[in-house]
């Protein structure tokens, strides 16, 4: 719960306090250990969860443009915008 919510220190304190008051919950010593661990490793845990939850490929580059036709055989096709989008995918770290 702590990691998936990416709790800040105030949220963490409130969550752990609730867990210590819960029937069959954790002790205050356990809460202190969890809090210290989370404070020291929050960034690494969050980055690990993100890397595990996304696909192998990520968006490396994106470009786009809108073309408007100005000369055609049929007048009704004139000034019709066309969007062109180019996306470059790549594996994380490459």
Tokens of 48: 């690990």
In a shared domain, residues 13 and 38 = yes
* Residue 77 Cα distances to 64, 69, 80, angstroms: 22, 8, 6
For 55-88, how does the pLDDT look when each residue is reduced to its tens digit (9 = 90+)?
Answer: 667 788 899 999 887 776 766 666 778 899 998 8
Domain that holds residue 36: 9-53
Domain check: are 13 and 47 in the same one? yes
DSSP class of residue 8?
-
pLDDT digits (tens, 9 = 90+) for 27-63: 999 999 999 999 999 999 988 888 777 666 778 889 9
- pTM of the predicted structure, to 2 decimals: 0.54
| 47 is a domain residue | yes
Q: Are residues 64 and 81 in the same domain?
A: yes
Q: Are residues 38 and 62 in the same domain?
A: no
| pLDDT over threshold 70, residue 11 | yes
Q: Is residue 3 part of a domain?
A: no
The number of distinct structural domains making up the chain is 2
Q: What is the dihedral of CA 41, 43, 49, 55, to 10 degrees?
A: -150
> Which tokens is 10 given?
């105030």
């Amino acid at each position: 719960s702590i990691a998936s919510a990416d709790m800040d220190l105030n949220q963490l304190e409130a969550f752990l306090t609730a867990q210590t008051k819960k029937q069959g919950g954790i002790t205050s010593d356990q809460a202190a250990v969890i809090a210290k661990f989370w404070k020291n490793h929050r960034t690494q845990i969050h980055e690990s969860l993100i890397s595990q939850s996304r696909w192998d490929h990520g968006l490396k580059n994106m470009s786009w443009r809108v073309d408007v036709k100005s000369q055609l055989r049929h007048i009704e096709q004139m000034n019709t915008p066309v969007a062109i989008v180019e996306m470059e995918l790549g594996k994380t770290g490459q």
